[in-house]
Structure 1
Amino acid sequence: MAPAAAQDAAPEGTTIIVSPPLTEKERKEELREFTKEIVQPPRMRHPVAKFFYPICPQVLGLAADEAKAIAERIRENARALGVGANTDPACLPTLKVAFMAPTAGPSQSWLSAESKQLAHLAIYERQRVLAESGPVRAWNRVAVRDFNGQRIEVGQMIRIEPYGRNDPIVTTEITGAAVLIARQAAEGFTFAQLADYITMRTLIGTGAPSNEAGVPARTILTLFDEPDPPAEMTSFDRALVAELYNASRNSAPRRIYNDIARAAVESERIARAEPEAPKP
């Protein structure tokens, strides 16, 4: 039954249904499914791809001080989340970001199936990039390796070594990541918001969640879709990246999804238990 105040505020003839809050088990399942929606699905028997070595970001298309601020924030995120970041100013960029000027045209014209930037991608990966809408295009370069870490080339036979029945026999390494962002669409956002969004699009292969029915957890991935997006990476975002990079290189995707949901629910429980800061 709705509270009296709610009944008084509702128009005559309106029925208000108050649903009980989700149990912790139900919330975990909800966040698990949400994780599966935004993390790009790996191939069958492949783990979720991630960087194996510290990243080296490069930001183009902005004033030098602005580009430096965003790159440094990405490095800070990578270090805090267990990925690591190369501090050598002359390091070879493995994470490239380009803010596209209006003269580059609308985002749907930036790339095509014949674009050299996408030549290394499998057909289904290329289609996924080209199907993205909005002011951003992002993709990762992934290397498949055998159980011992040796790179597997296309058509090469895999030598099977002993492994757990529940985990893949290969690992998938992100060797490079790229993000294109329309510069006009980025106006009005803070460097922290932009850097955190880029972090989420590159350290894991992710896509923007569908928010037609609302999203079950706040995430910086909705930066270009929400009228009031988060000011930085959320607790869910941090759980998403940290749990992937804390797992073994060949952990099964379902195990990763479960760990992310568990960590996210735990962070929500802690946040609820913390006393509110006194108002000034």
Structure 2
Amino acid sequence: MTVRRRLAMVSDQRSRIDAIGRRSIGLALAVVAACALASSAVAQNAPAKPGDIVVTGRTENSGKQIDKEARKITAPMSDLYGESLARFASPVCPAAVGVPPDFARTLINRLRQDAELAGVEVAKPGCKPNIAVIFVENGQEEIRAIRNKQTALFAGLSRGDIGRLANDPGPVHAWTRTERKGVDGQPLEFGPLDDAPALSVSASSSSLIMLSTRLDVDSAVVVIDLPAASGMTTNQLADYAAMRALARTDPKGVSGKVGTILALFDAPAGKQPAEMTTFDLGYLRALYKPLAGQPAYMTLGGLTDAVRSVSTVTASADKH
């Protein structure tokens, strides 16, 4: 059975967002609704099966092109050598709100499958959501309306981060809540407050291959404008959300030279990626495969091999 044919069960459910009717809710209320989904849409989903998902084709890009694209789509970092890429350490539990239950269930199932195929642990149905995919009419207006209010929606974000979200016209706004921990996953302990706090970490010391700290993602939010999503399939939207929620990526870095689902909202009509690509899956696998605390430059450096591995599996499956 080919990799593409293994998606048959999910592909049959390619309902389009313009066929379900637009039903937008306020952004702040949407997050509350996302938590409530633990006993509705999420709870009704069957466990994800990686075999039911597909990635698009095999890559013909050079290692240099893959490496360059990976760095361009990775959210800006201050130090590739002294920091690790942020990722979920706890099982992920996606929820979708702002769309009818059937559409939400299909999207959630697909996102769960994306995560498992990438090597990310997925929580059991009935879990408390830590990934919220929210559909609204205008995300920028919603964010601007509540940016100065005390809301858990922006917990962990700086005023600058919130300002950048409010100034972004969209049509997608995505952010994560992160926490820096010791490489062993234990909370950091800070010394007495002097002129500068002294950091004390009960973990292995930094080295060229392992840092003393890691950056864990506690939760992720992806807000999608309904008008921009018109005509897109649940597969496209779930795969896009996976690349924005499971990794801190920036679609503005997409060059067009390497196929990626991150081009979904910028590609011309008719040329939008149909689903996650080998590059996308390779990126996520490279992010989640290493031990916690690996420097970002090493994680990105392993991307070419991860993409090649995905391409090899795809090519092999296509022969059967």
Place the TM-score, normalised by the shorter chain, in its bin: 0.7 to 0.9
CA distance in 2, matches of 1:157, 1:206: 29
Residues 149-228 of structure 1 aligned to structure 2 (within 5 Å)? 149-152=185-188, 157-159=199-201, 161-166=203-208, 167-210=210-253, 214-227=255-268, 228=271
| CA displacement at 1:163 relative to structure 2 | 3.2
Greater shift after overlay, 189-198 or 124-133? 124-133
Deviation per CA, 1:139-170: give whole Å up to 9, x if none: 00101001332223785623364335213210
Matched residues, percent identical?
Answer: 27
| CA distance, structure 2, for counterparts of residue 43 and residue 93 of structure 1 | 30
- Match status 1:114 vs 2:130: no
Give the secondary structure class of the aligned counterpart of 1:143: strand
Deviations 1:92-136 (A, max 9, x none): 110011100x3xxx3332224535322421345434434544311
Aligned to 2:102: 65
Q: Which runs of 5+ in 1 are unaligned?
A: 1-23
- Runs of 4+ displaced beyond 6 Å: 273-277
Structure 2 gaps of 5+ residues are 1-59, 191-196
* AA partner of residue 120 (structure 2): V
- Matching of residue 146 in structure 1 with residue 182 in structure 2: yes
Which amino acid in the other structure matches residue 71 of structure 1? I
1-structure distance, mates of 2:264, 2:131? 20
One-letter amino acid of the counterpart of residue 174, structure 1? V
Which position in structure 2 is the counterpart of 1:27?
62
Cα distance in 2, alignment partners of residues 190 and 50 from structure 1 = 26
Contact map agreement 2:236 2:261 (CA 8 A) in 1? yes
Judged with a 3 Å threshold, the aligned counterparts in structure 2 of structure 1 residues 169 and 186 are, in CA distance, closer, same or farther, namely: same
Match of 1:34, SS state, is helix
Query: Contact 1:138 / 1:177 at 8 angstroms: preserved in 2?
Result: yes
Structure 2 CA distance, aligned partners of 1:95 and 1:267? 25
Aligned residues of 1:146 and 1:158 also touching (Cα < 8 A):
no
Please tell me the residue identity of whatever aligns with 1:114: N
Partner of 1:19: none
- Map 1:97-136; keep pairs closer than 5 Å: 97-100=133-136, 102=137, 106-112=138-144, 113-114=147-148, 116=151, 117-136=153-172
Give yes or no for contact 1:41–1:48 (8 Å, CA) kept in 2: no
Corresponding residue SS for 2:299: helix
The structure-2 alpha-carbon separation of the partners of 1:252 and 1:226, relative to structure 1 and needing over 3 Å to count, comes to same
Counterpart secondary structure, 2:302: helix
Structure 1 position 28, deviation (Å)? 1.5
Give the length in aligned residue pairs.
246
> In 2, Cα distance between the equivalents of 1:222 and 1:138?
15
Relative contact order higher in (CA < 8 Å, ≥ 6 apart): 2
**CA distance, structure 1, for counterparts of residue 166 and residue 303 of structure 2:** 28
Distance 1:52 1:270, change over 3 A: closer
Q: Retained in 2: the 8 A contact 1:54–1:86? A: yes
User: C-alpha distance in 2, partners of 1:75/1:276?
Assistant: 24
Q: Give RMSD over aligned pairs.
A: 2.7
Normalising by structure 1, report the TM-score. Answer: 0.78
Distance 1:72 1:275 in 2: 23
Task: Give the SS at the match of 1:209.
Answer: helix
Aligned residue number for residue 15 of structure 1: none
Report the CA distance between 1:27 and its aligned residue: 2.3
Of the candidates 38, 47, 50, which is equivalent to residue 84 of structure 2?
A: 47
Structure 1 pair 256–127 and aligned structure 2 pair: CA distance change class (3 A): farther
- Which structure 2 residues correspond to residues 226-237 of structure 1 after superposition, within 5 A? 226-227=267-268, 228-237=271-280
Q: Is the 8 A contact 1:35 1:261 kept in 2?
A: no
Q: Does the alignment pair 1:94 with 2:126?
A: no
CA change 1:51–1:210 in 2 (3 A) is closer
Report the equivalent of 1:241: 284
1:137 matched to 2:180? The reply is no
